Structure 1
Amino acid sequence: MSSDPRFHGVVKRLKQISKVYMVLSSKGGVGKSFISTLLSYYSSLKGVPTGLLDLDFTNPSTHIILGVRPEEVSYREEKGLEPFKIGELSYFSIISFTRDKPLVLKGEEARNVMREVLSIVNWTGIQKLFIDTPPGLSDEQLEAIYNLRGLVKPIVVSTPHRLSIQSVSRLVKILRDAGIGEIMLVENMGNGVLKAFAESEGLNYAGYVPFIETIDECIGSASKIENCHLRKYFEAILSKT
């Protein structure tokens, strides 16, 4: 456990949530934020009190997928910051403070902001939380994973592309070295071909989302997400979480 007292507050908050998932990708462009956002939104539509936390401070995009503007997002203080409600989904992103301007953080600055966000958001009443993270695996993400072992389960997102698969193998080794046992894999823009790869790596294969050219039909508003023709694939993945 980190000596930073904020992590003790983080553990206390997350222990109240039945299931917490940190969605990771070894490289950009695999659709990690798309997967995080639609999994959390469809979970909320099923009547499960669900939260979505965007920890990408430099290039957040979950609000674009959800169709909310930064100026629309606000938080009420009640034993911490209460998440913003989008339908039945509880949502938190730093865009409320940055107004969608890039926030370039490095080293200790990045770790401090991550610790602060994790410690101040009040997820009371939430049963399932999805945490969207920046691509790759930074020092602050490793710190969070290491300190929150046993509370947070990683969901790794990959495409069937060879470069993505090789990067996932490296990411899995890092997670294993950090003491993480159970790791889930979601295949994006695929057809199920990564199931054999997941088994060979000892990963829990949660399912796949196929590639479609009309992806804009599924993002940008609540109604688009609710009526997205990919919904059945996300619900199949949710049945494994």
Structure 2
Amino acid sequence: MDPRIELIQERLGNVKNLVPVASGKGGVGKSLVASTTALITSGKDYEVGLLDLDLHGPSAHVILGAEDLNFPEEDKGVIPRDVGKIKFMSTVYYSRDRPSPMRGGDISDAIRELLSITRWGSLDYLFVDMPPGVGNEILDTIQLMHNPEFLVITTPSKVALRTVEKLVQMLKELEVSIGGVIENMKTENSPEIKKEVEELGVSHLGSIRFDNDLEYAIGDPEKILKSKFARDLEDIFPEVERLPSP
């Protein structure tokens, strides 16, 4: 048995709510939702962590303006960087924003290593920005993390919704808890998908309107929190706050 697995349980032992933020495909705003939810939560006097687990395209550091890629401090493990009130850790500290061509066992090994060395301490919420799809990263998260409560992100697009169906089906087959689905990039002309989401047997937590100005806020947490995107997400936040603690 890999000794890192026991160490991972120890590292995450004082995390009350473990919330992987996932999507069936890329381009649906998953990283923005994960990062902004962490910002909103940390502003409500919760102890919050954010882990960017996207080995191939980490982006939370760009969204949060945390582009100083010096490796975090080490003390009997790695101590997450403080980004505002968020404890932040990312695969980018290893990749240095260079391509990371990994597959199979290399991906699993990298995830185990990152989880086993990171000292989160006591947290109310640890949000995990998952890579898109239904590959090794999702399966390893389920295997290694205790009682995750997934948030699933989609857009009103039929393509996005079809991939969400596959993700939800996989999580259900693995008996993993799903907190609900958040609909992003909704416009006046978007089809209504609330009924389709609920027919999957999961909650439609709410919708976030498409925000044309959001791009100009990227890299500045204060501007992000003032955006229409963040205001819509804050309206959804009570649903996230009610996620059951393990």
Question: By the TM > 0.5 criterion, same fold?
Answer: yes
Letter in 2 for 1:139: N
CA contact (8 A) 1:40 1:50 kept: yes
| Aligned pairs (5 A) from 1:83-232 | 83-148=80-145, 151-190=147-186, 193-232=192-231
CA drift at 1:55: 0.5
| More moved, 34-43 vs 222-231 | 222-231
Letter in 1 for 2:35: T
Tell me the TM-score normalized by structure 2.
0.89
RMSD: 1.8
CA drift at 1:147: 4.2
After the TM superposition, list the runs of 4 or more consecutive aligned residues in structure 1 that deviate by more than 6 angstroms: none
Letter in 2 for 1:92: M
What secondary structure does 1:85 align onto? Answer: strand
What is residue 40 of structure 1 aligned with on the other side?
A: 38
CA distance in 2, matches of 1:213, 1:231: 13
CA drift at 1:42: 1.3
CA distance in 2, matches of 1:145, 1:197: 25
CA drift at 1:20: 0.7
CA distance in 1, matches of 2:161, 2:79: 37
Structure 2: gaps of 5 or more residues: 241-246
Letter in 2 for 1:81: V
CA drift at 1:168: 0.9
CA contact (8 A) 2:36 2:225 kept: no
52, 55, 58: which one pairs with 2:53?
55
Structure 1: gaps of 5 or more residues: none
CA drift at 1:189: 0.6
What secondary structure does 1:201 align onto? Answer: coil
What is residue 29 of structure 1 aligned with on the other side?
A: 27
Aligned length in residues: 237
CA drift at 1:144: 2.2
What secondary structure does 2:199 align onto? Answer: helix
